[in-house]
Amino acid sequence: MQRLRVRYAKRGRLRFTSHRDFSRAFERALVRARIPMAYSSGFNPHPRISYAGASPTGAASEAEYLEIGLAETVDPTRLAQDLDDALPTGLDVLEVVEARSGSLADRLEASRWQIDLDDTAPDVAAATVEAFLARESVSVERMTKKGLRTFDSRAAVVAADVAAHDGGSRLTVLLRHTEPVVRPDDVLTALRQVGGLAEAGTPSVTRLEQGPLDAATGAIGNPLSM
């Protein structure tokens, strides 16, 4: 069985696609593109697809990853083109490579996020971020499938900075993947608690990178090149 790893993007209106919706669209695209998928055994066989580190619904992303198993050997470049043509615009295949040894999920150690706050002045956002980073911990609550959970949002934040953007502020946040996972909306909740950041409008959130973290430099590597 050939194993391929895929990097894809969620853009535009497709950022509102849930993980379940994407998985359905992806499986339909595999059929339309005539990809020779390998299937699990048993009474209810399903295509061998492993999703890793999916972004939350409503967030755009340039760095989503999955792995597929094929029954025949194919050219990764050709598969990337065929699969991209079969997916709706906004779900875009960016890279396909042969899988190497080890787990793809284990290589996704951190993500870099871009958060645009149209109604927040840069000086206000910068002061709030500074106050947040000065804290040792900032607890937030989020409703999960297992009920309301309380966890430390500060421990996951490796770095954060602010820049002026289009009349508002742009936050760039580097998050280490923890358990439970700290999401960009958790960081925004914490910033509102710490500095009184206004809860105005809907922020635009985009994952820029996802992969192995160099703790010394804050750089995120390409998980498909390892």
Q: What is the pLDDT along the chain (226 residues), one digit of tens a residue?
A: 899 999 999 999 999 999 999 999 999 999 999 999 999 887 888 899 999 989 999 999 999 999 999 999 999 999 999 999 999 999 999 999 999 889 999 999 999 999 999 889 999 999 999 999 999 999 999 888 788 889 999 999 999 999 999 889 999 999 999 988 999 999 999 999 998 777 767 899 999 999 999 999 999 999 998 7
* Residue 188: predicted pLDDT: 94
Domain layout of the chain by residue ranges? 2-106, 109-217
Task: Give me the pLDDT at residue 200, please.
Answer: 67
Tokens of 128: 């709030």
User: Do the first three CATH levels of 2-106 and 109-217 match, i.e. the same topology?
Assistant: yes
The predicted pLDDT at position 202 comes to 80
pTM for the model: 0.93
Topology of domain 2-106, CATH: Alpha-Beta Plaits (3.30.70)
* Domain 109-217, CATH number (from 2.60.40, 3.30.70, 1.10.3470, 1.20.1530): 3.30.70
